[in-house]
Amino acid sequence: MTLPENRRQIPAEERLIFALDVPDLDRARTLIRRLGDHVRFYKLGLEFFLSGHYFELADELKQSGKRVFADLKLFDIPPTVGRATAQLARRDVDFLTVHGNDGMLAEAVANRGEMGILAVTALTSLDRGDLDDLGFACDVEALVLSRARRALALGCTGVISSGLEVAALRREVDDRLVAVCPGIRPVANIDEQKRTLSVSEAFDAGADYIVVGRPIRDAGDPASAAAGIQSEIARIFS
């Protein structure tokens, strides 16, 4: 398959996004120092956002040459989403997640500046039973494809999607959408993530980036764990 320019030019070492899910600045800085050059792209989510040091750390990462993914999953009335997106766009953040409907996504796209907007399709912690509980009368793949089509039409950069649905997304939606895949588990999975894939499975399916958190953070040697994943990615894209 011939990839579009926006996907083909992603540096291999940036395809691993580390989920920096820690509660305070000291632990975040310690992990960043330990990981060194093995991680070039960091995801900062809600837990760290509530530490009170979100923008301080985002600025530090950007100043050190790293990339930053603000995983805030904005969901509010469209004007509020638009204004929040405009605020974040001033911080030189690379990606922002929006977890809303067409109006919210459209406002985020209109106010993004140079920042990429990623539409959340279906959280990797949800399975068919969870969708039933939420009132969605469709299976997970149908929901992901529906939201991906809307994201593309509204001008989003890409989507957050489990690797389990990426192959269908590539086949049935469009190859231009950047696909960021969380729930990557290099080893057997025993946590709350229900829809997971390995590193190679996700990229073989069509992922552009993978998000890995606990398998790196909780490893005896986080730098070695990240280096191992980077070596696997390098082999895949060599």
pTM, rounded to two decimals? 0.89
pLDDT for 162 equals 81
Q: Report the C-alpha dihedral over residues 161, 238, 34, 198, rounded to 10 degrees.
A: 40
pLDDT for 192 equals 47
DSSP 82-123: HHHHHHHHTTT-SEEEE-S-HHHHHHHHHT-TTPEEEEE-S-
218/221 Cα distance (integer angstroms): 8
CATH homologous superfamily for 5-236? Aldolase class I (3.20.20.70)
169/47 Cα distance (integer angstroms): 30
pLDDT for 125 equals 54
pLDDT for 147 equals 87
132/24 Cα distance (integer angstroms): 36
**Which residue ranges in the chain fall short of pLDDT 50?**
1, 126, 134, 189-195
pLDDT for 45 equals 94
Tokens of 194: 């229900």
User: Within 10 Å of residue 1's Cβ, how many Cβ atoms?
Assistant: 5
Condensed to tens digits (0 to 9), the pLDDT of residues 76-104 reads: 999 999 999 999 999 899 999 999 899 99
Nearest to 102 by CA among 151, 148, 146: 151
First to last CA, the chain: 15
With tokens 């696997």, the residue in question is: 232
Q: Is 73 an active-site residue?
A: yes
pLDDT for 235 equals 95
Where exactly are the structural domains of the chain? 5-236
Catalytic residue among 43, 62, 73, 194: 73
Q: What share of the chain is helix, strand, coil (3-state, %, to 5)?
A: 50, 15, 35
Tokens of 172: 């049935």
pLDDT for 186 equals 63
Condensed to tens digits (0 to 9), the pLDDT of residues 196-221 reads: 688 999 999 899 999 999 999 999 99
149/138 Cα distance (integer angstroms): 16
